[in-house]
Amino acid sequence: MLEEARIALQAYYGYNRFRKGQEAIVSHILKGHDTLGIMPTGGGKSICYQIPALLLKGTTLVISPLISLMKDQVDALTSLGIPAAYINSTLSQEEENDIFRKAAEGSYKLLYAAPERLDSPRFVSLAGRLSPPLVAIDEAHCLSQWGHDFRPSYLDIAPFVDKLPQRPILAAFTATATEEVKEDIIRLLGLRSSEVFVTGFARDNLALMVLRGVNKKDYLLQYIGERRHQAGIVYAATRREVEDICSLLQRKGIACGKYHGGMSDEERAAAQEAFLYDDIPVIAATNAFGMGIDKSNVRYVLHYNMPKNMEAYYQEAGRAGRDGEASECILLFGAQDIQTQKFLIEQSIASGERKSQEYRRLQAMVDYCYTPRCLRNYILQYFGDFSVTDACGICSSCRDAGDLADITVEAQKIFSCVRRMHERFGLTLVAQVLKGSRNKRIRETGFDRLPTYGIMKEYGEKDIADLINVLIAEGYLALTGGQYPVVRLQEPAVDVLKGKSRVYQRIHHKEAARPADDRLFDVLRQLRKTLADRDRVPPYLIFADSTLREMCRNLPLDEASMLRVKGVGETKFARYGTAFLEILRQYAAENGMGTAEG
């Protein structure tokens, strides 16, 4: 069946081979085995269950957490000529009845539903008649209370499967899973004789950047102003900041939408559709936006605030460059972000154990913002992926051309101060003692009489705090958990105090902007938008940016060479190929070019 899977991949999706990890997962499912696939955002998880759905007899059921995700997936499948539908609360009773009828008749190869539907007697009855050969669970990390998007309704999946007349193959997928989350998924779904496929968390096309101490509004305006025609997402921590960012960009003449939980369902749906259809290039949003959104041509994701944990950050950042094209993920970090996230943890979580876990995750996120090491490798190691050891070469740490500064003396002063304060106080008070602050608490504790009091008075208090955070990120110091963490010395700090090792910090430089798109690419993109408006579909569902760029490179001038372009399947060519060939032939004629080999 694997050869049939390759044929289907070419015919429907326009790809002549599977991406890394996809073929092994597809093969495992087609052999009838339960499967857990952990693949990076944009790694092609959906193909891993859609291809088996095409080849297995009957209708595959897909459990999906968000209405927007379902619509996006079904629109994409329909555009490929694959019969699919979804059942959710956006449908009228008449539409729902029609889909139930067609599903019962076997009209669909894939049927999407939210986990909340699994306790509906009508849906359970339909599923029983369908007896699906495969049940795919998207965003499977929602099963685990240790996952960053825990959904209690996901716990209904295993009981639902038990009610089916024949147990289907179960295939679960997620982009971000620590060991705890992975074990929860296997246990809570009851996966049998399953194999876990981890294709790696690396996204080589993403340039990761952390910028500290910049004026966020000025940077935002300059960065987006230089990329007015590129699609991008700006994430912010609160609804108010989303509103402010959207208003700021609009006042500067940049078409921007907004998306947050304080808006009505209709307002959020309209904003999302405008973004998906390229009617607005930028959307400002809270973390309520984006799970499962398959918009492939997002060229940048800019975090206005630090997210609450690495799982959330990497999933949000991973919405850039899903087409494989070079994209940027920029985090604008300010110390106030830490306090904002602590406040949100305190407001939203009651369980002491869960709260402690969230504080540990938050600290790992803070460490990411301060580490001078390769950012990609930091993320990979966080998720337990130690297969990549080489630096990425494109993150803000790797691309920094600055020299390493020896900060051993400063580090020794900080370590000595922490020790003399008996490792019982927080980062802010340590920085104040080193600075020589005269505040009341320092006088009351007698810390103004310590030998380390004021020994770094030439530094600003914020600079000292930043340096302490760097030393925490590098493992010389550690913070205890909780809302008010205490600074503790770690073993590497002892060697530094004894003069056995030295400490270095890289000096950061401003990053230059990337060059603009070429002329032919812009013409093809405009044609794509025109066709998308005509067919009322998002532009990226016609062709991804990566497909347009391959057209620019290879200049296919006939059907055979066009079909060799990745992303141009037979269905897509039949619908859109002639229009694109006309543009490419005109460009070739104007520039004296002949037919290029695809």
Is the pLDDT at 482 greater than 80, yes or no?
no
pLDDT of residue 298: 94
Tens-digit pLDDT profile for residues 495-508: 999 999 898 876 65
pLDDT of residue 402: 58
Q: For residue 291, which of 247, 235, 214 has the smallest C-alpha distance?
A: 235
* Mean pLDDT, the chain, integer: 88
Give the pairing type, strands 327-333 and 256-259.
unpaired
CATH class of 404-506: mainly alpha
pLDDT of residue 450: 95
Measure the CA–CA gap between 320 and 323, rounded to whole angstroms: 9
* AA letter at 127: A
Is the pLDDT at 38 greater than 60, yes or no?
yes
pLDDT of residue 560: 86
256 - beta bridge partners?
A: 282
User: Domain segments of the chain: what residues?
Assistant: 2-198, 206-399, 404-506, 519-590
> Percentage of the chain surpassing pLDDT 70?
94
Can you state the angle between helices 336-348 and 352-370, rounded to 10 degrees?
160
pLDDT of residue 598: 38
pLDDT of residue 397: 86
pLDDT of residue 509: 47
Measure the CA–CA gap between 39 and 196, rounded to whole angstroms: 11
Higher pLDDT, 265 or 103: 103
Report yes or no: 466 and 364 within 8 Å, Cβ to Cβ: no
> DSSP secondary-structure letter at 569?
-
Q: How many CB atoms lie within 10 A of CB 221?
A: 16
Tens-digit pLDDT profile for residues 450-475: 999 999 999 889 889 989 988 998 88
Is the pLDDT at 575 greater than 80, yes or no?
yes
What average pLDDT does this structure show over 554-565? 89
pLDDT of residue 265: 82
Q: Among 67-71, 328-332, 363-367, which range has the highest average pLDDT?
A: 328-332
Tens-digit pLDDT profile for residues 365-422: 999 998 888 999 999 888 888 877 789 999 988 887 556 688 899 999 999 999 999 9
pLDDT of residue 293: 66
Tens-digit pLDDT profile for residues 166-191: 999 999 998 877 788 888 999 999 99
pLDDT of residue 506: 67
Burial letters for 272-309: b for 16+ Cβ neighbours within 10 Å, e otherwise? beebbbbbbbbbbbbbebbbbbbbbbbbbbbbbbbbbb
DSSP 506-523: EPP-PPPPPPPPPHHHHH
Split at pLDDT 50, 70, 90, the class of 162 is very high
Report yes or no: 414 and 393 within 8 Å, Cβ to Cβ: no
> What does the longest C-alpha to C-alpha distance in the chain come to?
83
pLDDT of residue 51: 97
CATH superfamily of domain region 2-198 = P-loop containing nucleotide triphosphate hydrolases (3.40.50.300)
Is the pLDDT at 344 greater than 60, yes or no?
yes
Element (H, E) at 164: none
Name the E strands within 5-123: 35-38, 60-63, 84-87, 110-113
Name the E strands within 354-446: 404-406
Tell me if domain 206-399 and domain 404-506 are identical in fold. Answer: no
The SS3 of residue 437 is: coil
CATH of domain 206-399: 3.40.50.300
Q: For residue 414, which of 446, 362, 459 has the smallest C-alpha distance?
A: 459
Measure the CA–CA gap between 156 and 154, rounded to whole angstroms: 5
Name the CATH code of domain 519-590 (choices 1.10.357.10, 2.60.290.11, 2.40.160.60, 1.10.150.80).
1.10.150.80
Q: Which long-range contacts (CB under 8 A, 24 or more apart) does 17-23 make?
A: 18/44, 18/47, 19/43, 19/44, 19/47, 20/199, 20/200, 21/197, 21/199, 21/200, 22/47, 22/48
Instruction: Find the Cα–Cα–Cα–Cα dihedral 189, 138, 179, 193, rounded to 10°.
Output: 40
Give the pairing type, strands 169-174 and 134-137.
parallel
pLDDT of residue 135: 97
Quote helix, strand, coil % in the chain, to nearest 5.
50, 15, 40
